[in-house]
């Protein structure tokens, strides 16, 4: 089945809808669905409130999530605490000989542009256990009984560790038999993996959850002889199936495990009111010295959701982060430069991140980051440059610039400690291990084309 998914990756037009038809469907959905999202002062929110005695933002049941202060490595910031694990699930089916993925046109309250292409199901545990009193998410039964179908991916992967503390979601892809009759709702459409990749070239059109799920597909397990004809990028093909002949895992895990074993500095929870640089201003919780996000409250009305009207706090981005992946071809094999990344909310210690991961208020800290930005600013060797959104269920209008550079090997500076140059086969192996590659790296991997 992995071979079939590689074929789907190469199929930039579908057997059910053309890519142009999918774009028209999205435009039509955006025009017809009523959405009204407005910021409100906290006192207007009848459910969520700041509980000063505990120093948290929560609802009376302490359900869904809470927001508290956290401190780590001398930095204090608000952070989302959401212990439950949700489904990010995609259903696949072979149609006219080509694997198609059932994708959803979903509106989240924080989306900058209404609809974004989302997995078949994107639901927190509170959603699918109906704690909110809403409808049961469509297609849930396939994922609750996933063992009845062919499972391609089933991983507990980390979320944004700069915003969440220890948050994970279940990334899962299952394939149903071709003769299974699936009712396709008006909110969903079949599309190939190649069509999803085409839609990713449009700013803010394919959401973060879709990108993380498809990044987990173990393409390296396909038969190389069967799939070679689907690749135009032979350096990427060799990177996936040949590799560079080096077992990078001992070096990477020695570095990771040393830090996890000997670094005793751990994040700890503190009340929001104890963070000396943060304060309430005009109904928003902001950093007096400037920070890359703030907390706002919103009143939300979205048609077609399990619950249509509600209020909640959201983290609103201040500026735009930049995520970049640097690659180069050596001996005909594409290699990727990744970096060990510590963040306040890591579930099990630091993870591997992309070459560059800079928040809007951060500057480059080493020669590799400066090299990357210099090439990007001169528009040198830029293979991918697109603005994509973070998850809109908790983040308001958070967009990040995603860049892939493919530079000549001889121009790359020496890699400092904490950087690794690896083939795609290594990354594809590591993504099968929970909480090893961070979500920013996984999302950049999802952009690659055959």
What is the topology classification, in CATH, of domain 2-35+83-222? Nucleoside Triphosphate Pyrophosphohydrolase (3.90.79)
Which two three-digit tokens encode residue 16? 């059910």
Strands 49-51 and 121-123 come out as: unpaired
pLDDT of res. 128: 62
Q: What are φ and ψ of residue 289, in 5° steps?
A: -95, 0
With CA atoms as reference, report the closest residue to 88 among 43, 151, 154: 154
Q: What is the pLDDT at residue 127?
A: 64
Q: Write down the pLDDT at residue 315.
A: 97
Residues 6 or more apart whose Cβ sits within 8 Å of residue 46: 311
Q: Give pLDDT, residue 308.
A: 83
Question: Does the fold of domain 249-266+318-445 match that of domain 2-35+83-222?
Answer: yes
Spatial distance between the Cα atoms of 76 and 344, rounded to a whole number of angstroms = 10
* Structural domain boundaries in the chain: 2-35+83-222, 249-266+318-445
Of the candidates 312, 320, 317, the residue with the CA atom closest to the CA atom of residue 109: 312
**248 Cβ partners below 8 Å, 6+ apart?**
420, 422, 423, 426
Q: With left for phi above 0 and alpha for psi between -120 and 50, is residue 381 left, alpha or beta?
A: left
Neighbours of 33 (CB within 10 A): 16
Q: How far apart are the first and last CA of the chain?
A: 17
What CA–CA distance (Å, rounded) separates 222 from 225?
9
The whole-number pLDDT of residue 375 equals 96
CB atoms within 10 A of CB 232: 10
pLDDT at position 131 is 60
Residue 361 and residue 359: Cα distance in Å, rounded? Answer: 6
Angstrom distance (rounded) from CA 303 to CA 107: 9
User: How far lies 268's CA from each of 62, 68, 74, 209, in Å?
Assistant: 19, 10, 11, 28
Confidence (pTM): 0.95
Q: For position 267, what pLDDT does the model report?
A: 92
Domain 249-266+318-445 has CATH 3.90.79.40: yes
Local confidence pLDDT in tens for the 450 residues of the chain = 999 999 999 999 999 999 999 999 999 999 988 889 999 999 999 899 999 999 999 999 888 899 999 999 889 999 999 988 999 999 999 999 999 999 999 999 999 988 999 999 998 776 666 565 567 889 999 999 999 999 999 999 999 999 999 999 999 999 999 888 899 999 999 999 999 999 999 999 999 999 999 999 999 999 999 999 999 999 999 999 999 999 999 999 999 999 888 988 889 999 999 999 999 999 999 999 999 999 999 999 988 766 788 999 999 999 999 999 999 999 999 999 999 999 999 998 899 999 999 999 899 999 999 999 999 999 999 999 999 999 899 999 999 999 999 999 889 999 999 999 999 999 999 999 999 999 999 999 999 999
Distance (Å, rounded) from C-alpha 302 to C-alpha 170? 25
The token pair that represents 258 in the structure block: 């040393």
What are residue 98's DSSP bridge partners? Answer: 95
């Amino acid at each position: 089945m992995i071979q079939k998914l590689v074929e789907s990756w190469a199929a930039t037009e579908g057997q059910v809808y053309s890519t142009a038809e999918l774009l028209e469907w999205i435009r039509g959905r955006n025009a017809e669905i009523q959405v009204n999202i407005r910021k409100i002062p906290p006192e207007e929110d009848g459910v969520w409130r700041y509980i000063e005695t505990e120093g948290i933002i929560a609802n009376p049941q302490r359900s869904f999530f809470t927001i508290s202060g956290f401190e780590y490595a001398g930095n204090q910031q608000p952070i989302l605490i959401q212990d439950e694990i949700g489904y990010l699930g995609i259903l696949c089916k072979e149609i006219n000989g080509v694997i198609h993925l059932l994708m959803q046109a979903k509106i989240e309250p924080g989306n900058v542009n209404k609809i974004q292409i989302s997995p078949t199901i994107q639901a927190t545990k509170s959603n699918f256990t109906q704690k909110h009193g809403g409808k049961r998410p469509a297609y849930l039964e396939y994922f609750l009984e996933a063992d009845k179908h062919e499972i391609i991916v089933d991983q507990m992967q980390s979320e944004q560790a700069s915003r969440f503390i220890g948050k994970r979601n279940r990334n899962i892809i299952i394939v149903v038999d071709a003769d299974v009759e699936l009712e396709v709702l008006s909110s969903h459409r079949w599309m190939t993996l190649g069509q999803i990749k085409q839609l990713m070239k449009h700013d803010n059109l394919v959401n973060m959850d879709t990108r993380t799920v498809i990044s987990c597909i173990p393409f390296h397990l396909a038969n190389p002889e069967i799939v070679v004809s689907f690749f135009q990028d032979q350096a990427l093909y060799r990177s996936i199936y040949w590799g560079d002949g080096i077992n990078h895992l001992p070096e990477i895990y020695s570095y990771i495990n040393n830090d996890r074993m000997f670094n005793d500095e751990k994040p700890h929870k503190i009340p929001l009111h104890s963070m000396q640089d943060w304060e309430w201003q005009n109904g928003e919780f902001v950093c007096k010295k400037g920070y890359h996000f703030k907390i706002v409250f919103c009143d939300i009305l979205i048609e077609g959701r399990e619950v249509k009207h509600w209020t909640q706090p959201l983290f609103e981005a201040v500026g735009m982060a930049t995520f970049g992946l640097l690659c180069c071809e050596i001996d005909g094999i594409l290699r990727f430069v990744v970096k060990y990344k510590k963040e306040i909310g890591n579930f099990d210690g630091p993870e591997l991140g992309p070459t560059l991961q800079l928040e809007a208020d951060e500057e480059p800290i080493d020669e590799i980051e400066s090299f990357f930005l210099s090439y990007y600013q001169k528009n040198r060797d830029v293979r991918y440059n697109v603005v994509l959104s973070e998850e809109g269920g908790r983040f308001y209008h958070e967009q990040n610039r995603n860049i892939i550079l493919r530079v000549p090997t001889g121009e790359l500076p020496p890699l400092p400690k904490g950087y690794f140059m690896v083939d795609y086969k290594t990354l594809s192996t590591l993504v099968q291990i929970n909480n090893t590659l961070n979500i920013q790296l996984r999302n950049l991997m999802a952009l690659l084309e055959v």
